[in-house]
Structure 1
């Protein structure tokens, strides 16, 4: 018991010395006659909502308070998620030029590129907990329904161009059903059946008049927020110089219609390495390709200066 009391008293003495020393140092650093420096205060402001907005070619009714507040929420979330949003701004020149001409050729509104961004965060290798994969987050069944090859060696859900073309077919089919691109975007998240069920239950056919689940209710507004920030970054507090953005990859393509025993050896034979070959062709899932049917595949190979010509 005496030992415990002694240790307690020793602890109290040490604490008193520390506190006294702190106050001595503080008073020595800032004598009574010297005013202490004020604390720096960082002020954060609400985001600016646009006076008007169109999304996927359709007018957004910002005069409705619920619509304005839903958009405001997603703008706040993405405007103040600085690291992620800056990364998106830096990555856009690498991937949007691949997606945009495919959307245009299939007469899909250009704003759907922001849906791909919302789905994958510019990660061609993105995989969701549910098993959805790639830029457009296709599940295996849906991918094969729309002509993508998915097996142990090749998974075209990771293929940016081919998955974008498949997504275009899916989006057009949804538009034939709903007649509204905004509902098409909502159904991409919730599923066509779920949106159709709510249209029937609520006797409404306008996305902005429908009560949807939390995730889908926010989903379209998040895409709108990404569109506004990506198109007007300085309005929302972001300034990324062109020299700081990631450029499009300079590649050449080669066709193969035979098996490949070892992609590491294949890469070296074409002047690159396995790491870069897989970076450019994430749809190759194994270090070999059986290709028993002699199918022709187009591979991207780094062009000369690929790793050093970055600006």
Structure 2
């Protein structure tokens, strides 16, 4: 079973303009507006003009879910170095990951723990969606965990034009946990289970057999799956050590989770805009907290019990 066709890979695609890679280190400012314009347009050579870009020291103890990354292998070293560099010097994207992680990791972490999934898998969600709750890939994988529609339905999620529970973080995380546990049982390691999230259990198993090796790190794979675990490890390393990689922020810069309570609904809702007004919010705010509600109404002909999240008072401007 393949949970993903094409992950968004929002983290790990370097910006080619050259703008982002010079912002982090404390380099000399251009001396005039003209110099700044030339710099932004790429007319000046940043190395010649002392816009410093620094190589990174390879950490000695990189691991994923307790399984060591064999960086003594020169191929593994270069692939790991690539992901660390790409993600360190894409500063705007990196700062967004720090900001979103503060908001969403507290939701994901206890679900992983409850299911016996190593905490490192929260970084898989980072590379899949950039922690964007409403992310959707060209192949149709959706939500923070980028689950395909068929996979969602096979694992108990409601997926249709009216309700799509792939956009429900809690439920989607549960599905991801089930998939990962199954992959670990089938393939024998958490590293290979992570790779299987991208390439499928059968895909990873077949390649291991064809190439007569036992480790993900010994496989020759396509570009996406071949970089997949290295991206996860890179984001784990960077998000765990902001100061080490030059990311400067304080707690006030990070996004906060808005406290909510759940309202149970077991009937149809004809107008969510009117429904939202009962709780002092508008339709936009209702959808921000419940992106799995895909339309402005709820059919619910089966009388299914849904739980709709409503933000606590005082966090948004209340309606008159």
TM-score where L is the length of structure 1: 0.85
Q: Distance in 1 between matches of 2:97 and 2:228?
A: 17
Provide runs of 4+ in structure 1 moved above 4 Å. none
Larger relative contact order (C-alpha < 8 A, sep ≥ 6)? 2
Q: Distance in 2 between matches of 1:90 and 1:49?
A: 25
The structure that is helix-richer by fraction is 1
**Is 1:205 aligned to 2:214, yes or no?**
yes
Q: Which residue of 2 aligns with 1:73?
A: 82
Deviations 1:20-71 (A, max 9, x none): xxxxxxxxxxxxxxxxxxx962111012210112211211112111111111
Preserved CA contact (<8 Å) 1:108 1:168: yes
Secondary structure of residue in 1 paired with 2:256: coil
TM-score where L is the length of structure 2: 0.83
Unaligned runs of 5+ in 2: 1-47
Which of 163, 171, 174 in structure 2 is aligned with 1:165?
A: 174
Unaligned runs of 5+ in 1: 1-38
Q: Distance in 2 between matches of 1:169 and 1:255?
A: 26
Preserved CA contact (<8 Å) 2:268 2:298: yes
Q: State which structure, 1 or 2, has the greater radius of gyration over its C-alpha atoms.
A: 1
Q: Distance in 1 between matches of 2:215 and 2:193?
A: 11
Preserved CA contact (<8 Å) 1:132 1:140: yes
1:215: how far off?
1.0
Q: Distance in 2 between matches of 1:248 and 1:184?
A: 30
Which of 154, 158, 163 in structure 2 is aligned with 1:145?
A: 154
Q: Which residue of 1 aligns with 2:52?
A: 43
**Is 1:185 aligned to 2:184, yes or no?**
no
Q: Which residue of 1 aligns with 2:104?
A: 95
Secondary structure of residue in 1 paired with 2:50: coil
Q: Which residue of 2 aligns with 1:265?
A: 274
Q: What is the aligned length?
A: 270
Secondary structure of residue in 1 paired with 2:160: coil
Which of 112, 118, 141 in structure 1 is aligned with 2:127?
A: 118
1:205: how far off?
1.4
1:258: how far off?
0.8
Secondary structure of residue in 1 paired with 2:310: strand
Q: Distance in 2 between matches of 1:64 and 1:102?
A: 35
1:142: how far off?
0.6
Preserved CA contact (<8 Å) 1:48 1:236: no
Q: What is the aligned-residue RMSD (CA, Å)?
A: 1.1
Q: Which residue of 2 aligns with 1:215?
A: 224
Deviations 1:66-115 (A, max 9, x none): 11111100011000101000011111111000000000000001000000
Which of 38, 48, 52 in structure 1 is aligned with 2:61?
A: 52
132-141 or 246-255: bigger deviation: 246-255
Q: Which residue of 2 aligns with 1:8?
A: none
Which of 238, 246, 254 in structure 2 is aligned with 1:245?
A: 254
